[in-house]
Amino acid sequence: MKLNIAGKWMLGALLLIAARSGVAGVLAGSAHDFANAGWNPGGKVCVTCHTPHGSDTSVADAPLWNHKLQTTTYAQYSSPTLKASVGQPGGNSKLCLSCHDGTVAIDSFGGNTGSTMITASAYKATSNLGSTLNDDHPIGFTYDTALAKLNGSLFDPVATAATIGTGTTSKTGTIASTMLFNGKLECSSCHDVHNTFTVGAKGTGMLKMDSVGSKICMACHNK
């Protein structure tokens, strides 16, 4: 599921790979370009997030304490959508959070102290973000027309236009089609992990829209 979307974007990024570094619209040279690190597995950029599966899926090395196996592979980053409580990051965001946990990669933004990481602990359907923008932005919730009505200061995601990226690598659609995943807001709603449809130089967070003037915030928040 997410591989399909990622596959399309990856293809786009590969086609556009240029020698320049740190430019929006190109994976090479971005913060997620792991090729220059020179580490296992031999400069392969994609395996960090797209774990490869071996071609030989026979289970010759069966676990010694449980010969009766249910499966040969593990599902990754899965989360039960039925029982998931509001605000728990979905599978999409879990992939991000598995590295951005304060160890391998930063987990705070706004340059402030400690872990101002995104959870929805302060999530309320009718709250306004207010002035504490260095606080958490909730993720893992469904952003639909009903929520927009309930909140009162959000745009309707299926009826509001949105453009992500810049220049030749941009995409126009609705909020829902360009930013939401299964109707939910996740990390990649605002951050394009492949640096394809992004605005800004390296170090600005691979955002899909301009953060100058808080344009990206105002794409959804009617202020």
Instruction: State the residues that interact with other proteins by CB under 8 A.
Output: 37-42, 47-48, 51-54, 57-80, 83-85, 88-89, 94-95, 97-99, 101-104, 107-108, 113-115, 117, 119, 121
Nearer to other proteins, 52 or 167 (CB): 52
Nearer to other proteins, 70 or 168 (CB): 70
Query: CB of 213: closest distance to other proteins in angstroms?
Result: 30
Max intra-chain CA distance, the chain: 60
Q: Of the candidates 151, 172, 152, which has an alpha carbon nearest to the alpha carbon of residue 161?
A: 172
Query: CB of 164: closest distance to other proteins in angstroms?
Result: 27
Query: CB of 104: closest distance to other proteins in angstroms?
Result: 5
SS3 assignment, position 96: helix
- Which residue type sits at 204? T
Nearer to other proteins, 5 or 104 (CB): 104
Query: CB of 185: closest distance to other proteins in angstroms?
Result: 16
Token pair 């394809």: residue: 196
Nearer to other proteins, 105 or 159 (CB): 105
Neighbours of 56 (CB within 10 A): 8
Token pair 């010969």: residue: 67
Nearer to other proteins, 116 or 166 (CB): 116
Token pair 């220059």: residue: 36
SS3 assignment, position 15: helix
Distance, CA of 178 to chain centre: 12
Name the phi and psi angles at 96, rounded to 5. Answer: -70, -45
Q: Of the candidates 181, 177, 203, 207, which has an alpha carbon nearest to the alpha carbon of residue 192?
A: 207
Token pair, residue 103, equals 């160890």
Query: CB of 88: closest distance to other proteins in angstroms?
Result: 6
Nearer to other proteins, 108 or 145 (CB): 108
Query: CB of 49: closest distance to other proteins in angstroms?
Result: 9
